[in-house]
Copies of this chain bind each other. A is one copy, B any other.
Amino acid sequence: MIDAVTALLPTSAHVLIGPGDDAAVLAASDGRVVVTTDMLVESVHFRRDWSSAYDIGRKAAAQNLADVVAMGARPTALVLAFAAPPDLPLRWATDLARGMANECARVGAVVAGGDMARADVVVLSVTALGDLEGRAPVRRSGARPGDLVLLAGGVGSAAAGLALLESSDARLIEQFADLVAAHRSPSPSYESGLALAELGATAMIDVSDGLSSELHHLARASGVAIAIDDVVPAARLSAAGAALGADAREWVLHGGEDHAILATVPPELTNAAAVWTTCIGVVGTGEGVTMAGEPLTARGWDHFRGRA
């Protein structure tokens, strides 16, 4: 299985030594390396009957690549630790690897190594590395009063897709296939995140747990207050909400896993990002997060409790 997976993985100039030795060796051109890791557990973070191996691979890659981008770094490589039941079809593993490799290719990264073990359920642990290309890392703590709050990428679609799958309503799942696809394999806007870093974003964060909780993370880490405008769900989300009897605003405010990039940017720089971001609010002095003048509670996906 390791050979079959390794054989299909493309490589890149960043990979000085790839799979097959005790460890991989990667270029870290500016003398620093960005690293993040995430674990996905079957029936907690994904279901094999709800998502294809290819989509699970894309998603596992995406959430780690988005974390690297949210530091202002270009992802260069992933390593994958993978546990599975002995009866897992080889095809499932190779599809997973193809999904990871293809998501990596969207931002110029590759899968550079891994490990395989046995477990009763599929467990994926992805570690992503990135290159700051000489830039300062963009932390959560850099937001300053007066900055504008920008969002690159949409939020709420993945949560809507999850709600559709949970409804088991085949007709709705087909009708809103775009939202279900957003849940199965989100497409973070890596280049927008990198462009925000290049532009001079003061803070950035990957929206993995829900907009409300990420806004609170930013505000707390930076010691500032954030005021966002009232949220108006896109028509598509509102239609799915109406069909399910759910509140689409909840998906937008508290739904996770879209992996949009949330950034704060000095106002004189925001114009350059106006085409590929949405301005959703402003940074002020004080603390806490408000929406249309009312306190906005942090709520979102809790990775430890999960929601399988």
A-side interface residues toward B, CB under 8 Å?
1, 16-17, 20-41, 44-45, 67-68, 70-71, 73, 77, 79-83, 86, 112-121, 123, 125, 127-130, 132, 137, 139-141, 204-206, 221, 303-306
Contacts and interface: CB of A to CB of B under 8 A. Distances in A.
Given A37-B127, A127-B37, A304-B118, A21 B113 contact: no
Contact of A22 (B33, B71, B119): B71
A70 B25 CA distance: 12
Nearest to A26: B33
Contacts of A115: 37-39, 303
A129 B16 CA distance: 15
25 contacts: A16-B137, A21-B71, A21-B137, A21-B141, A22-B204, A23-B68, A23-B70, A23-B73, A23-B128, A24-B35, A27-B33, A30-B31, A35-B77, A36-B113, A37-B80, A39-B81, A39-B83, A39-B115, A44-B83, A45-B117, A81-B81, A81-B127, A117-B306, A118-B303, A118-B305
B125 A39 contact: yes
B123 A39 contact: yes
B21 A26 contact: no
A63 to B, nearest CB: 10
A116 B36 contact: no
Contacts of A1: 304
A70 B22 contact: yes
B139 A37 contact: no
Contacts of A204: 22
A84 to B, nearest CB: 8
Nearest to A136: B25
A248 to B, nearest CB: 27
- Among A25, A31, A305, find the residue whose CB has the most chain B CB atoms closer than 10 A: A25
A75 to B, nearest CB: 10
Contacts of A304: 1, 86, 116-118
A266 B204 CA distance: 51
Contacts of A114: 37
B33 A129 contact: yes
Given A22-B68, A23-B73, A35-B113, 5 more contacts: A21-B139, A23-B34, A25-B34, A117-B306, A120-B120
Contact of A127 (B41, B127, B221, B303): B127
Given A304-B1, A306-B117, A25 B71 contact: yes
Contacts of A26: 32-35
- Among A23, A39, A117, A304, find the residue whose CB has the most chain B CB atoms closer than 10 A: A23
Contact of A41 (B67, B117, B137): B117
A37 B303 contact: no
Contacts of A121: 119-120
A22 B306 contact: no
